[in-house]
Amino acid sequence: MSGGGKAGDRPVVLVSGGSRGIGRAVALRLAQDGYDVSFCFRGDEQAAATLEKELDGLGARALARRVDVTDAQSVRDWVEATERDFGPVAVAVTSAGITRDKPLLMMADSDWHEVLDTNLDGVYHVCRAVVFPMMKRRAGSIVTVASVSGLYGNAGQTNYAASKAGIIAFSRSLAKEVGRRGIRVNAVAPGLIDTDMSAVLDEQVRTQVAERTALGRTGLPAEVAEVAAFLASDRASYVTGAVLPVDGGL
C-alpha cells in the first residue's frame, strides 16, 4: 500500500485486473479524478508495483492485491481488506479478463471454462461482494468491461464472446435490480484496443480490423478509461443499464 492522505479523504474505487491494459488505465484515470485505488492482479507483481508508484505520484493511496477472481472467497477477502483499510467502495470496475481463442472444433473444454470462469464468474464475484454494502449506503457505481465481441460475435472467439455477452446481460439485469437503491450499473464494450492481450494478434488481423473501423485505427486503453470514468462519475447520474461501445466505429 502506498500514497498519502487519511481514510475517508477520497472516495474509493475497486478495479479488478488493474495492473495492465484497460484496468491500469482506469486506475490511473480515476486517481486523477480524486479516488484512492484498490486493484487486484493475477501474476505480474512488477507491473503492480509500478502502478502503485504511479498512483502514489498522483496523490492516491493504492492497495495492490494478488486475487484469483474465479475464487469467490479470494474476492470477498480483497473487498473486505479494501473497506477496512480505505473505507467504503464507491465505484467498482471489473476489467479482469483472458482470451483462449480457437475455432470451436479445436477448443478444449479447459479453454471454454477458463475464459467463462475468469471473465464472467469474475464479474459476478466482484459485484456480489460490493453490491450489498452499496445497497446499505444507497449509493454506488459499477462499470463492467465487456467487448464488441459480446455485441457482434467474432469467429474464433465463441468462449470470449459468450463471456462478454453474459457480462452485458448481467449488467443490464443488475441495473434493474439495484437502481432504486441508488446504484448505477453500466458496461463499456471496447473494440480492438492496444493492450498486451491484443498484441498477440497477427499484424494482418490488426490491419484488417483497423480498415473496418470508421476512425481507421485501433484504440488506446486511456480512451476506454475516459468512458469508464464518465460512467463511474456523477456526470452520468441518469445513466444506468447502458452499454457504450468504444470501438472507433467498427
The dihedral region occupied by 5, where left means phi > 0, alpha psi between -120 and 50, and beta the remainder, is: left
Residue 18 in marked binding region = yes
Give dist(CA 87, CA 201) in Å, integer: 40
Catalytic residue among 35, 124, 160, 238: 160
Known binder of ligand: residue 168?
Answer: no
- Is 163 marked as binding a ligand? yes
Phi, psi of 239 (to 5 degrees): -120, 120
The response to whether 47 counts as a known ligand-binding position is no
Is residue 173 marked as binding? no
Give CB contacts under 8 A, 24+ apart, made by 108-112. 111/159, 112/159
E-assigned strand segments in the chain: 12-16, 36-41, 62-66, 89-94, 140-145, 183-190, 243-246
152 a catalytic residue:
no
Which H/E stretch holds residue 112?
A: helix 109-116
First to last CA, the chain: 40
Is 64 known to sit in a ligand binding site?
no
Q: Please tell me whether 19 is known to bind a ligand.
A: yes
| Residue 20 among known ligand-binding residues | yes
Q: Is 241 annotated as a binding residue?
A: no
Contact call for residues 188 and 244 (beta carbons, < 8 A) = yes
Is residue 164 annotated as involved in ligand binding?
A: yes
Where in the sequence numbering do the catalytic residues fall?
Answer: 160
Would you list which residues are annotated within the binding site? 17-20, 160-164, 193
Binding-site residues for NADP(+): 17-20, 160-164, 193
